[in-house]
Structure 1
Amino acid sequence: MVIKMTFKNIQYIIYFFIFTLISCEDVITVDLATGRPQIVVDGWINNKFETQKIRLVSTTGYFNSDAPPYVENATVKIHNLVNNTTMDFTYDKDGYYTWTPATLADTLLVRQRPSDFDRDSDGLYNNYYRLEVTAEFTGVDVHFEAFTSLERTPVIDSLTFKTQVASDDYPEVIYGELWAKDFAGPADCYWIKTWKNDSLLNKSNEMSLAFDITPGRSDYGDVIKEDTYFIPPVRNSINPRLSDDEQEAKKPLYQINDSVYCEIHSMTENAFDFMSQAKSQMSNGGLFATPLANVPSNILALDSKSDGLVVGVFCGSAISSKGFRIKTKPPYEEK
């Protein structure tokens, strides 16, 4: 059967679609069911001679813009499994529990690679420190634990800066590179943090994670036989990421008299996977965005009552750092 399409038929179809689009402009209120609250662990410890912090907060509704409720009644301990000592953390404020080393000798231990302390002979080395937490939470006595080690981190050789030649679309640009060598041998994971004029670059697309010399998981740890510099995507990650509006306004990355400070934080592979997935979810959006979900955690419930009531991450880091002030115009990049 052949259907003839007249101009009037086409008009009717166009009117139908216009009417449909207009009729879809009503605001629809979605009543989302509220899931049960969970404790969120933000547990990052390091080898610096400074106060160590573990933060415990509660999850809240997706559309709730208030600060998350703090978990203030917990008992928080970290057990040093190497020398069988315990650090008792006390509540401070805003969900933070703190402990301060009394002397430099009390700072946390960095594991000496490749295999100095495989306590249970499982080939893993996240058994230097054990976090133990108990708390009364939503009427339940919650009890959970997590394990970590502090892995090695490379020294930052230098921060260098160059000037990119102006183009028809953009003025001269000053940009920086971080020079540090990943260690040869087994996989190493890092979180590179950068401060510009004392302000942390903390957009989701400014979070710089490295697995060996690359931004994502790779086999380089099994391949490279000598210490090797990070590849350009990692080296260049110390530069601010400009929004479309900032690019349109030709905002500079760096200028003369700017100060730049970088830190490399080592991470366990568990923490690297956690942060990689968290970064993916923070930048998740658009037409083909994946549904939001809890990022897999290395926090373990110690009984059935606590199961499903805790998320987050516990990790230790060794930290290296270097700063630089741009005093004069950097040399032009080589073509």
Structure 2
Amino acid sequence: MVMKNFIYISTLIISFFCISCEDVINVDLETGRPQIVVDGWINNKFESQKIRLLSTSGYFDNTTPPYIENATVRVLDLVNNKTLNFTYDSDGYYTWTPTTLADTLIVRQRPGDFDRDGDGLYDNYYKLEVSVVFDNKDLQFESYTSLERVPSIDSLFFQTSKGDTEKDDQIYGELFAKDFAGPADCYWIKTWKNDNFLNKSSEMLLAFDITPGRSDYGNILTQATPFIPPVRLGINLSISEEEDERGEKNYEVGDSVYCEIHSMTEKAFDFMSASRSAMANGGLFATPLANVPSNIVASNKDAEGMVVGVFCGSAISSLGYRINTKPPYDNRKL
């Protein structure tokens, strides 16, 4: 039935272009059942930890998805046998704040306790538990994560790519850090320009060991190894043709640049990779839309198929830099 509907809609679109450029075709799409979306990222910082719960909405609905305000949200610290109770704040966010530095979340030691089978059961890990009445059903679901090791950022280095004229010169940056030796490590590298987060799908920088995608380097590296250029250069802006025509610059003298490396589990890496592909998906021959596989599972029968999203823990390293003078020229072209 789904394929027949797809063929039918595709036929309507083709007919539309063949017959008229002004006629409007209204396609009545059936609305699927609502689901709960979990945006759960916790970290090792001495700050409020946040987990957000939303409800899905119609594909053509441009309003903010409904917030889930009536849930019971907790994270179990299975190392210290403690329960972290998250309380509702606003805009779908549930928060818990460590009282002291000793209460901050634990980064798992590796590779001594490394669990290669990927079942999420580590020597120190965290379990998310959520219960909520939603769509007239009592739903319960759970997920596991650990906080993996993260490398420090050695430096942020900037150079100038020479253009046809000085006005066409472009300043670009590189992030230098070394991935650990041993089993696979996954990272989400985030960049801010003048306090503005680079949030395009094309600017989502993920690394699996030293590369942008899954690799076998984790089984090969015997010493700390620098990220390869596609990762190092990923802190630069993705400038569209329209932005280029408007004179949008990558970086300029006076800009501040701030970068963070967030460690991730392999399951979270796969989720974010699939999410990035889905966000960049488009065009006449785009892949049909589908939910990105989640690492959150139902704890009771009513919750089956009712939750999407991700729960992940991160250790974070960071470094900032201000471009006070024009960097030296480099012969490479961006």
Q: What whole-Å deviation, never above 9, does each CA across 1:294-317 have from its counterpart, x for those lacking one?
A: 000000101111101111000000
SS at match of 1:285: coil
Q: Give, in angstroms, the shift of residue 287 of structure 1.
A: 2.6
Match of 2:77 in 1: 80
Q: Give, in angstroms, the shift of residue 282 of structure 1.
A: 0.2
Q: Give, in angstroms, the shift of residue 25 of structure 1.
A: 4.7
Identity of aligned residues (%): 69
Match of 2:310 in 1: 313
Where in structure 2 are the equivalents of 1:237-316 lying within 5 Å?
A: 237-316=234-313
Q: State the distance in 1 between where 2:17 and 2:196 align.
A: 49
Match of 1:9 in 2: none
Q: What whole-Å deviation, never above 9, does each CA across 1:269-303 have from its counterpart, x for those lacking one?
A: 00000000000000001232101100000001011
Normalising by structure 1, report the TM-score: 0.90
Q: Give the conservation status (yes or no) of the 8 Å contact 2:155–2:175.
A: yes
Q: Give, in angstroms, the shift of residue 249 of structure 1.
A: 3.1
Q: State the distance in 2 between where 1:70 and 1:266 align.
A: 28
2:23 to 15, 18, 26: 26
C-alpha RMSD over aligned residues: 2.2
Match of 1:100 in 2: 97
Distance 1:261 1:228, change over 3 A: same
Instruction: Give the number of the structure whose alpha-carbon radius of gyration is greater.
Output: 1
Q: Give the conservation status (yes or no) of the 8 Å contact 1:209–1:276.
A: yes
2:54 to 57, 79, 86: 57
Match of 1:185 in 2: 182
Match of 1:39 in 2: 36
Match of 1:115 in 2: 112
Where in structure 2 are the equivalents of 1:98-177 lying within 5 Å?
A: 98-116=95-113, 125=122, 128-167=125-164, 171-177=168-174
Q: Give, in angstroms, the shift of residue 116 of structure 1.
A: 2.9
Q: Give, in angstroms, the shift of residue 223 of structure 1.
A: 1.2
Q: Give, in angstroms, the shift of residue 248 of structure 1.
A: 2.3
Q: State the distance in 1 between where 2:263 and 2:120 align.
A: 19
SS at match of 1:179: strand
Q: Give, in angstroms, the shift of residue 247 of structure 1.
A: 1.7
Q: What whole-Å deviation, never above 9, does each CA across 1:173-217 have from its counterpart, x for those lacking one?
A: 100000000111100000000000000000110000000011110
Q: What whole-Å deviation, never above 9, does each CA across 1:222-245 have from its counterpart, x for those lacking one?
A: 112111111111100111110111
Whichever residue aligns with residue 279 of structure 1, its letter is R
Aligned length: 318
Q: Give, in angstroms, the shift of residue 19 of structure 1.
A: 12
Whichever residue aligns with residue 57 of structure 1, its letter is L
Distance 1:260 1:85, change over 3 A: same
Q: Give the conservation status (yes or no) of the 8 Å contact 2:120–2:145.
A: no
Match of 1:225 in 2: 222
Q: Give, in angstroms, the shift of residue 24 of structure 1.
A: 6.9
Q: State the distance in 2 between where 1:121 and 1:290 align.
A: 28
Q: State the distance in 2 between where 1:268 and 1:19 align.
A: 46
Q: Give the conservation status (yes or no) of the 8 Å contact 1:154–1:183.
A: yes
Q: What whole-Å deviation, never above 9, does each CA across 1:100-135 have from its counterpart, x for those lacking one?
A: 0000000000001013375x9968539600000000
Q: Give the conservation status (yes or no) of the 8 Å contact 2:77–2:125.
A: yes
Q: What whole-Å deviation, never above 9, does each CA across 1:45-88 have from its counterpart, x for those lacking one?
A: 00000000010000001111111101100000100011111100
Distance 1:102 1:270, change over 3 A: same
Q: Give the conservation status (yes or no) of the 8 Å contact 2:120–2:146.
A: no
Match of 1:196 in 2: 193
Structure 1 residue runs without a partner (length 5+): 1-17
Whichever residue aligns with residue 219 of structure 1, its letter is D
Structure 2 residue runs without a partner (length 5+): 1-14
Q: State the distance in 1 between where 2:326 and 2:22 align.
A: 54
Q: What whole-Å deviation, never above 9, does each CA across 1:13-65 have from its counterpart, x for those lacking one?
A: xxxxx998235752110101011100000000000000000100000011111
Point out the more displaced range, 218-227 or 101-110.
Answer: 218-227
Q: Give the conservation status (yes or no) of the 8 Å contact 1:132–1:143.
A: yes
Q: Give the conservation status (yes or no) of the 8 Å contact 1:209–1:215.
A: yes
Q: Give, in angstroms, the shift of residue 172 of structure 1.
A: 0.7
Q: Give the conservation status (yes or no) of the 8 Å contact 1:264–1:321.
A: yes
